[in-house]
Amino acid sequence: MAALNPENPVFVTYAIAAALMVLKVMGQGWMTVYRMMKSDSGLASPEDLQAGPLNRTPRPGQLELNDYVDRSRRMHRNDLENIPAFWAAGLVFVTVEPPLLLAQTLMYGFVLARLAHAVAYITKQMHEVRATFYTIGSLAVIVMALYVLAAIIF
């Protein structure tokens, strides 16, 4: 039986976690848009200095780095350094038929760690807090990749 379908509880776990992480990544883009518009700064391209509905009162300096906006971009970058690897690792992990409890622990653990990482980043917690949640998420992905290699090679 093919493992990659919604009758397989391990795949259901993956599908839920993957979809939640899709919403996280896309939502991060919208947080950047919101912060750009609210602070009227942190724009990305020279042509964005033209007046228009997204920029009613152009002024010099709108292209400069602004921590309020850049924080959301850094969160986005951190997401991109972790979440696509989760999508790939999780998918091949499902196909080697791991125990359901292990899959739930690693996948929902990853989701919770990434959400906690985001909260720590937005609220400017000290580096150690953010690093702890980064580590948990990273290890979950690494364990899935190693499990796949072990299951296939041995």
60-79 residues in contact with its own copies (CB under 8 A) are 67, 71, 74, 76
Query: Distance (Å, rounded) from C-alpha 139 to C-alpha 99?
Result: 18
Residue type, 24: K
CA angle 118, 124, 126 (to 5 degrees): 105
Residue closer to its own copies, measured from CB, 101 or 146: 146
Give the shortest CB-31-to-its own copies separation in angstroms. 12
> Under the criterion CB under 8 A, does residue 33 sit at the interface with its own copies?
yes
Give the shortest CB-40-to-its own copies separation in angstroms. 12
Residue closer to its own copies, measured from CB, 119 or 146: 146
At residue 55, the 3 state secondary structure works out as strand
Residue closer to its own copies, measured from CB, 50 or 57: 50
* Chain position carrying tokens 């989760």: 86
Q: Which runs of consecutive H residues, i.e. helices, occur in the chain? A: 9-39, 67-95, 100-122, 127-153
Query: Distance (Å, rounded) from C-alpha 84 to C-alpha 3?
Result: 20
* Lookup: tokens for 8: 């397989």
User: What is the x/- site pattern for its own copies, positions 38-57, by CB under 8 A?
Assistant: -----xxxxxx-x-xxxx--
> Under the criterion CB under 8 A, does residue 3 sit at the interface with its own copies?
yes
DSSP for residue 12: H
96-125 residues in contact with its own copies (CB under 8 A) are 96, 121, 124-125
For residues 144 and 93, the answer to whether their CB atoms sit within 8 Å is: yes
Applying CB under 8 A, which residues contact its own copies?
2-6, 11-12, 14-16, 18-23, 25-26, 28-30, 33, 43-48, 50, 52-55, 67, 71, 74, 76, 80-85, 87-89, 91-92, 95-96, 121, 124-128, 131, 134, 138, 141-142, 144-146, 148-149, 151-153
